[in-house]
């Protein structure tokens, strides 16, 4: 049973969830523009840097898979509070890192809690917001990526330049603590979807949801969609510094202007997803996103303005296609399966991101202080993106059949 909310409460709940997502996304994405700083500070290679990024996602994916078995058996708000606290602790540990291995361990700890937190945010949205308004709500929550780019990343880079990278992580921890206090006060309690069951029954249900054919299509689509993004995204900043000859101090401007643009485009894509349908929007954005992928992965030396325009085009279109993608997938689960399904979905997203980051690090070769073969990562991204369209069409067909069956029962 969904908690009762007024339009006023719904708005504030969405804003708090967006703020939590902002902190979570900022913690994750800040590592990528910090890449040039960290690679120099700890003397690490592209594959080592890729392992730092992927360790977060692997940890989040595994913790999500384990949590998925129990997602519908605990009060969501209590789990969210403790998960956020663990996330804050892990981020603070990143600030205390003095070498690559300590930072690697700290990113794993943060990823364990961050992976579950991201899934819990999606659970709150889908439990509280009706499907007809869910695209818009997801657009608001996912616009946190834009605000992280506009406010968080430039601020984090400025702090790193001014007093060092550790203070970037400490600042995120403090911000997350403040948001947690708001969440405790504003977020409603969501009751357990299931009564307590024996471990054998819990595992049986878990594997049933994990292997349910329509749900498998959703897991595979989010895995593929995440892969197509993260074979590129972690290496955008180092590639810009080494190949486009953009100074590290100039990176924050691209994130600022790109983030400003995505604030508007994320909301626009959310509304269009509700009006036109998630499948049409996903196909449209997927095809259009091929343009910035090709441009970025073949880019050479350029001026700051050209780089800002190129990066902004990439950020708005490539990240924007996830809004209709998640909206489409969110229509798959039954109400009683939603919590477990979304946790598993987030785990597959994390694992897809981790595998893509690792493979991206294997493809790229650093030679004479330049990245080589980045365009190959772009080609692989495009091929898998086109394959994901067939999965999206299949999911949409299943969703329509499900609606028709329900309508027949009502009649």
| pLDDT tens-place values along the chain, 411 residues long | 455 555 557 778 888 888 888 888 888 778 877 877 787 778 877 778 878 888 888 887 788 777 766 655 666 788 888 899 999 999 999 988 888 889 899 999 998 898 788 778 877 777 777 666 666 776 677 667 667 767 777 788 888 888 888 888 899 999 999 999 988 888 877 655 545 555 566 677 777 887 888 889 999 999 999 999 989 988 888 889 889 999 887 777 887 888 788 878 888 888 898 888 999 999 999 999 999 999 999 999 999 999 999 999 998 899 889 889 988 988 888 777 776 787 788 778 878 888 898 898 889 888 888 889 999 999 999 999 999 999 999 988 876 665 544 444 444
Q: How many residues does the chain have?
A: 411
Count Cβ neighbours within 10 Å for each residue of 222-234 and write b for 16 or more, e otherwise: bbbbbbbbbbbbb
Query: Residue 365: its pLDDT value, please?
Result: 85
Distance CA 274, CA 182 (A): 29
Query: Residue 222: its pLDDT value, please?
Result: 93
Query: Residue 411: its pLDDT value, please?
Result: 45
Structure tokens at 368: 């004479």
Residue 367: phi and psi, rounded to 5, are: -145, 125
Residue indicated by tokens 């430039």: 154
CA dist 48 → 64, 125, 176, 367 (Å) = 24, 35, 27, 16
277 dihedral zone (left: phi>0; alpha: psi -120 to 50; beta): left
Listed by start position, the domains of the chain span 7-187+198-410
**Contact 168/30 with Cβ under 8 angstroms?**
yes
> Which run of H or E residues covers position 370?
strand 370-372
Nearest CA to 218 out of 297, 142, 278 is that of 278
Residue 210: exposed, middle, or buried by beta-carbon count in 10 A (0-12, 13-18, 19+)? Answer: middle
Asked whether the whole model's pTM tops 0.85, one would answer: no
* Topology adopted by domain 7-187+198-410: Growth Hormone; Chain: A; (1.20.1250)
- The DSSP call for residue 367 is E
Beta bridge pairs of residue 372? 365
Nearest CA to 22 out of 163, 184, 191, 155 is that of 155
Query: Residue 409: its pLDDT value, please?
Result: 42
Q: Is the four-CA dihedral 218, 220, 221, 222 of positive or negative sign?
A: positive
Structure tokens at 183: 């969440």
Q: What is the 3-state secondary structure (H, E, C) of the chain?
A: CCCCCCHHHHHHHHHHHHHHHHHHHHHHHCCCCCHHHHHHHCCCCHHHHHHHHHHHHHHHHHHHHHHHCCCCCCCHHHHHHHHHHHHHHHHHHHHCCCCHHHHHHHHHHHHHHHHHHHHHHHHHHHHHCCHHHHHHHHHHHHCHHHHHHHHHHHHHHHHHHHHCHHHHHHHHHHHHHHHHHHHHHHCCCCCCCCCCCCHHHHHHHHHHHHHCHHHHHHHHHHHHHHHHHHCCHHHHHHHHHHCCCCCHHHHHHHHHHHHHHHHHHHHHHHHHHHHHCHHHHHHHHHHHCHHHHHHHHCCCCCCHHHHHHHHHHHHHHHHHCHHHHHHHHCCCCCHHHHHHHHHHHHHHHHHHHHHHHHHHHHHCEEECCEEECHHHHHHHHHHHHHHHHHHHHHHHHHHHHHHHHHHHHHC
């Amino acid at each position: 049973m969904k908690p009762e909310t007024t339009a006023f409460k719904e708005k504030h709940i969405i804003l708090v969830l967006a703020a939590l997502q902002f902190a979570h996304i900022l913690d994750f994405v800040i590592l990528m523009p910090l890449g040039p700083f960290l690679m120099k500070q700890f003397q690490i290679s592209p594959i080592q840097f890729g392992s730092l990024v992927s360790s977060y996602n692997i940890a989040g994916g595994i913790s999500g898979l384990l949590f998925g078995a129990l997602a519908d058996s605990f009060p969501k708000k209590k789990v969210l509070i403790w998960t956020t606290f663990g996330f804050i602790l892990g981020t603070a540990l990143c600030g205390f890192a003095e070498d690559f291995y300590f930072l690697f361990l700290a990113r794993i700890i943060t990823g364990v809690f961050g992976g579950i937190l991201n899934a819990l945010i999606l659970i709150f949205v889908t439990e509280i917001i009706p499907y007809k308004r869910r695209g818009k709500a997801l657009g608001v929550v996912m616009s946190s990526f834009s605000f992280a780019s506009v406010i968080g990343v430039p601020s984090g880079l400025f702090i790193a330049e001014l007093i060092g990278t550790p203070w970037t992580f400490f600042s995120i921890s403090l911000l997350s603590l403040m948001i947690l206090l708001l969440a405790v006060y504003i977020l409603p309690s969501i009751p357990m979807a299931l009564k307590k069951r024996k471990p054998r029954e819990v595992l049986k249900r878990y594997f049933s949801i994990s292997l349910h054919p329509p749900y498998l299509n959703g897991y595979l689509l989010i895995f593929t969609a995440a892969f197509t993004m993260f074979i590129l995204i972690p290496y955008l900043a180092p590639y810009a510094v080494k190949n486009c000859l953009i100074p590290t101090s100039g990176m924050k401007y691209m994130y600022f202007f790109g983030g400003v643009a995505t604030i508007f485009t994320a909301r626009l894509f959310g509304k269009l997803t509700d009006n036109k349908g998630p499948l049409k929007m996903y196909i449209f954005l997927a095809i259009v996103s091929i343009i910035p992928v090709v441009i970025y992965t073949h880019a050479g030396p350029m001026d700051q303005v050209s780089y800002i325009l190129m990066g902004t085009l990439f950020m708005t279109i490539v990240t924007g296609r996830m809004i209709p993608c998640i909206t489409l997938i969110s229509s798959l689960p039954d109400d009683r399966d939603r919590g477990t399904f979304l946790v598993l979905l987030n785990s597959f997203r994390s694992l897809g991101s981790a595998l893509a980051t690792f493979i991206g690090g294997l493809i790229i070769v650093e030679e004479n202080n330049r990245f080589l073969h980045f365009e190959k990562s772009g080609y692989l991204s495009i091929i898998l993106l086109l394959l994901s369209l067939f999965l999206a069409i299949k999911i949409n067909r299943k969703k329509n059949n499900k609606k028709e069956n329900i309508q027949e029962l009502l009649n």
